[in-house]
């Protein structure tokens, strides 16, 4: 019997338009009613993940920033964190600025960016369908470096870098790898998302990586949480689609991968379910819980 299910959001629970199907909603509700911890585990900001968790009734714990944070709803506090420091973020930002690379910085409750492009554009379009209290907070600033230097916080979840040219992208990654105490997500393929432009579907594709503090991943956060709850690794099901889900897929009692995942990720899975537009999460929950 599984006692905890960790579920990724983008490309997994959410469809290509950033929505949760009714089938997925009902399956999660059934798990919660049966006393199973359903933990949303995402790279998004704390506020963005927590809003969806409340909506779904999966509001015991969430994992944000790809494992940088665990938030406890009952205590209304962060019970685990592995933040990037302001100094680390400014060093990454300097390299991106010098090479005219698009990047954005995730704090606890907002995405700091210069413009609505790539992943930020997807969140912006997603926000248009949500009430104001459930939107991802996007803060467009002219000078990210100055904004962060003047900020009172020293807590940052991650930095995301996006670029359409693979050669340019790889060059930037090599430069950032020289910064100490960072983990750089090894994504070898393009991210592909769809947004609505009127009645038309528009595809946006780009190479990207996510930069976090050293040893930050979703499984490290899950391991901390299950130790706290007295749950064994074998009693955990993890459902994901992307390279940032790799550790939790490998180490959980059951690692479930979506059909829309990259071929690389499917190697690590125990089970492959239908894609994120066909309620693959619900299929997994019905099959094993």
Domains of the chain: 4-82+216-288 (3.40.50.1000), 93-211 (3.30.1240)
Tell me, yes or no, if the pTM score tops 0.95.
Answer: no
The 3-state secondary structure of the chain reads CCCEEEECCECCCECCCCCCCHHHHHHHHHHHHCCCEEEEECCCCHHHHHHHHHHHCCCCEEEECCCCEEEECCCCEEEEECCECHHHHHHHHHHHHHCCCEEEEEECCCEEECCCCHHHHHHHHHHCCCCHHHCCCEEECCCHHHHHHCCCCCCEEEEEEEECCHHHHHHHHHHHCCCCCEEECCCCCCEEEEEEECCEEEEEEEEEEEEEECCCCHHHHHHHHHHHHCCCHHHEEEEECCHHHHHHHHHCCEEEEECCCCHHHHHCCCEEECCCCCCHHHHHHHHHC
Render pLDDT for 55-67 as a digit per residue (tens, 0 to 9): 999 999 999 999 9
Q: Determine the pLDDT at residue 197.
A: 66
Specify the pLDDT at position 130.
Answer: 83
What pLDDT, on a 0 to 100 scale, did the predictor assign at position 194?
67
pLDDT at 189 over 80: no
Tell me: the pLDDT tens digits for 123-152?
898 888 888 888 899 999 999 999 999 999
């Amino acid at each position: 019997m599984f006692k905890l299910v960790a579920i990724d959001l983008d490309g997994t629970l959410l469809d290509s338009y950033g929505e949760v199907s009714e089938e997925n909603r009902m399956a999660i509700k059934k798990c919660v009613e049966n006393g199973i911890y359903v933990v949303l585990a995402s790279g998004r900001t704390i506020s963005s993940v927590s809003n969806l968790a409340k909506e779904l009734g999966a509001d015991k714990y969430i994992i944000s920033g790809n494992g940088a944070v665990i938030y406890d709803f009952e205590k209304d506090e962060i019970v685990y964190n592995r933040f990037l420091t302001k100094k680390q973020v400014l060093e990454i930002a300097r390299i991106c600025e010098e090479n005219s690379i698009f990047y954005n910085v995730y704090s606890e409750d907002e995405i700091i960016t210069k413009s609505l492009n790539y992943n930020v554009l997807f969140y912006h379009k997603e926000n248009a369908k949500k009430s104001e209290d459930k939107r991802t907070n996007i803060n467009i600033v002219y000078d990210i470096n100055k904004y962060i230097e003047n900020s009172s916080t020293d807590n940052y979840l991650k930095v995301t870098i996006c670029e359409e040219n693979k050669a340019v992208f790889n060059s930037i990654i090599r430069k950032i790898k020289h910064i100490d105490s960072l983990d750089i997500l090894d994504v070898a393929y393009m991210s592909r998302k769809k947004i609505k432009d009127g009645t038309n579907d528009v595809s946006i594709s780009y190479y990207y990586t996510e930069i976090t503090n050293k040893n930050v991943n979703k499984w490290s956060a899950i391991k901390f949480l299950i130790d706290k709850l007295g749950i064994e690794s074998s009693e955990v099901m993890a459902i994901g689609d992307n390279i940032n889900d790799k550790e939790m897929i490998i180490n959980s009692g059951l690692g479930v991968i979506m059909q829309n995942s990259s071929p690389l990720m499917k190697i690590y899975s125990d089970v492959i379910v239908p894609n994120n537009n066909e309620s693959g999460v619900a299929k997994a929950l019905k099959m094993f819980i």
